[in-house]
Amino acid sequence: MARNVVVVGTQWGDEGKGKIVDWLTESAQGVVRFQGGHNAGHTLVVGGSEFRLSLVPSGIVREGVACFIGNGVVLDVDHLLKEVAALETAGIEVRSRLRVSWGCPLILPYHAALDRAREAARPETERIGTTGRGIGPAYEDRVGRRAVRVYDLFDVERLREKVSANVHLYNGWLRELGGTPIKVEEAVEPLRAAAEVLRPMVADVAAELYRINREGGNLLFEGAQGTLLDVDHGTYPFVTASNCVAGAAATGAGVGPTRLHYVLGIVKAYATRVGGGPFPTELETEVEGGPGWQMSQRGREFGTVTGRKRRCGWLDLAALKRAIVINGVTGLCVTKLDVLDGLRELRVCVGYELEGKRLELLPLGAEAVEQCRPIYEVWPGWEESTAGARRWEDLPPAARAYLHRIEEFCEVPIDVVSTGPERNETILRRHPFGA
């Protein structure tokens, strides 16, 4: 019987989902991106080679696996085709295996221009930390029922008509913000050439996914960003523009919710965040030798897409528990455990003090989270190396105790532990696909 697994980040993104998706594709016939855009990146290390992906699903580096971009993804066609070309240069067959939904809303030049102009106009303390790639405005167009979708690419008159109406609207906003207006042809002409290159990869993704399941194939749904950046459930307004939670796999790919059988929540052994917004357990990363410095340096905490340095902090179990509640997490995968090797003691946030009360779940909204004072437990660290460990028994007793505390607090089993970037640097306790 077919089994479908959803992989989601349970923090502020950058949890190491790409490596885990790639590793799990050994048991899947198809991998599906269902939300976000090219603002989120995944770095994969396979056989010593590094692959940086932001739109193409992580399953593409596993030979023979079909990959899908669902209708919930906002698509920059130019970026997608460049990513495809880079993968092909690396010797990976892409075009016969990648399918893009007819329904994907397109990201056009006026989206990125408005994104950047808005961010620049905000006071520094109120900046969201957007990548400036037009993701938010593209999602606004979808909700506002003015989006240009993939299927519009193949009707030149309709494409020009829709783009012209949007350019008129966006140029008014850009002038108010001091931005440079966009010309209609600047948006339309590149799309006309790209459309014919893209056409063979466009498909009815929902129907394709249904067919794979009907024929007994497993599907893996790959989330981007993380739960705490979800537009509804994250630290609003310091969030992304899409729903990053497991339930979004249904609407963003066109599958029924009863066909999502297992949710794997990915969590770093510590916490990171990029851009603005509250971060209760944040540490100083510039003091050499401190825990935050070690997390930043050893964890190589720089964004795949932007190169921005990530903020680092202690693991926040109260925030993780919130993500588990929202996603219905079946099992956890802890990544980057080896980054903590050598720390004498570890702190773990198990709740907050807010207005004289104790909370055991992260509250909603940035304002409330900003006022939270973390409540810590202190746990002993370990001197031994966990890097590359492949069995639970190979982990130091203190590392196992740390992981057991995560399970105990969250009431969810840790089914997978990642101890390095390579596929085989993984400890499996229970397989998400039941294999």
Catalytic residues, by residue number, are 14, 42
Which residue, among 399, 358, 357, has the nearest Cα to 376 in the 3D structure? Answer: 358
Distances (CA, A) of 412 to 17, 35, 263, 403, 404: 18, 25, 11, 11, 10
Can you spell out the DSSP letters for 199-253? GGGEE-HHHHHHHHHHTT--EEEE--S-GGG-TTTSSTTSS-SS--STTHHHHHH
Q: How far apart are CA 104 and CA 69, in angstroms?
A: 8
How many other C-beta atoms can be found within 10 angstroms of the C-beta atom of residue 213? 19
14 CB contacts (<8 Å, ≥6 apart)? 226, 268, 272, 274, 301, 303, 304, 310
Residues in the chain: 435
> In a 10 Å sphere around its CB, with 0-12 CB exposed, 13-18 middle and 19+ buried, how is residue 351 labelled?
buried
237 cis-preceded (ω within 30 degrees of 0): yes
How many other C-beta atoms can be found within 10 angstroms of the C-beta atom of residue 49? 11
Residue with tokens 């198990």: 350
Q: If residue 377 lies in a helix (H) or strand (E), which one and from where to where? A: strand 373-380
Q: Give 266's strand partners.
A: 9, 333
Residue with tokens 């980057």: 336
Q: If residue 397 lies in a helix (H) or strand (E), which one and from where to where? A: helix 397-410
Distances (CA, A) of 172 to 118, 148, 177, 245: 13, 19, 9, 34
> H helices within 25-131, ranges in order?
77-89, 109-121
307 CB contacts (<8 Å, ≥6 apart)? none
SS3 166: helix
